[in-house]
Structures are given as structure tokens and as C-alpha cells.
């Protein structure tokens, strides 16, 4: 028997292992890394808009794709800085990489997704299908 009592019960030991011996990405999914930018999601009557704050990136650094019902926004950038003077040499690398995945509802039109990058914000717009758009109040005639 284990003196701390935690692992003496095999069932409790299994639960303990499942809860505490996994990384956070194993528990909630792998849609982000520790350096992923925050994403605002705005729903309007016409669409969903995702705003990604990434001022240190350029539009060429991003990749936006859809596969099945999953929208992926990712970026990968490597900056190389090289300085050579008479007293020292230095070479530095800066890597920025992230990937965020979002499950799309069935009420969106995957063919009309657009993305624009302006002033450090990537805006991805996913239009809703005509059936999903609110049409406003409907008046019912009474016979």
C-alpha cells in the first residue's frame, strides 16, 4: 500500500492520472498555443466576424483555411536579424507561430469566407446562409 493513500486505489489513481498528468491542450483541445493571439467573435444577423489581434505580423504570415466544418487561422513567421560590426557578430531569429481552430455551425456559407488584414487586426468574415438570417417579425393573418 502506498503511504500517501492516493495511488492505493487503482480507480482513483487512474482518475488522478487522467486529470493531472495531461497538458492543458490535451484537456481543451489543440486550437491554441501559449502565444496565440486572442480572438474576438462577433455575431450579426448576416455573419460571424472573427478579429485576431496580431500587430507584429503581416498578411503574408497568415493562413486561413476551411476543412469540413473547421475554420483554421494560423500564422508562421521567421525573422532573421544579422549584425556584423568590427567588435562583434550577432545573428538572432524571431519565430511567431500559432494556430487556432473554430468549429463552424451548419448555418454558415463556407464558400463566402473573406479575410482582411489592416492595422494589426485580421478580420475573417463568415456569412450566414439565407435560412439562418433573421428575417424580422412575421405577421400572421387571422382567418
Domains of the chain and CATH, by start: 1-29 (no CATH), 31-132 (2.60.40.790)
DSSP lists the bridge partners of residue 115 as: 124
Q: Are 54 and 115 in contact (CB under 8 A)?
A: no
CB neighbour list of residue 21: distance below 8 Å, 6 or more residues apart: none
pLDDT in tens, 81-122: 656 666 656 656 566 788 999 999 888 999 999 999 999 999
DSSP 111: G
Specify the DSSP element, H or E, that contains 39.
strand 39-43
Residue length, the chain? 143
pLDDT in tens, 6-65: 445 565 555 555 545 544 434 434 444 446 788 999 999 899 999 999 888 888 999 999
- How many CA atoms lie within 13 Å of 77's alpha carbon, on the beta-carbon side? 15
Amino acid at each position: 500500500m502506498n503511504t500517501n493513500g492516493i495511488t492505493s486505489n487503482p480507480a482513483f489513481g487512474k482518475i488522478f492520472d487522467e486529470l493531472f498528468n495531461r497538458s492543458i491542450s490535451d484537456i481543451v483541445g489543440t486550437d491554441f498555443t501559449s502565444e496565440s493571439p486572442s480572438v474576438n467573435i462577433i455575431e450579426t444577423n448576416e455573419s460571424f466576424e472573427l478579429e485576431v489581434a496580431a500587430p507584429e505580423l503581416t498578411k503574408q504570415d497568415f493562413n486561413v483555411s476551411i476543412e469540413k466544418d473547421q475554420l483554421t487561422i494560423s500564422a508562421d513567421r521567421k525573422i532573421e536579424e544579422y549584425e556584423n560590426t568590427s567588435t562583434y557578430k550577432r545573428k538572432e531569429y524571431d519565430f511567431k507561430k500559432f494556430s487556432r481552430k473554430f468549429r463552424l455551425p451548419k448555418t454558415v456559407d463556407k464558400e463566402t469566407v473573406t479575410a482582411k488584414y489592416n492595422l494589426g487586426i485580421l478580420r475573417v468574415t463568415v456569412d450566414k446562409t439565407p435560412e439562418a438570417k433573421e428575417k424580422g417579425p412575421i405577421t400572421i393573418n387571422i382567418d
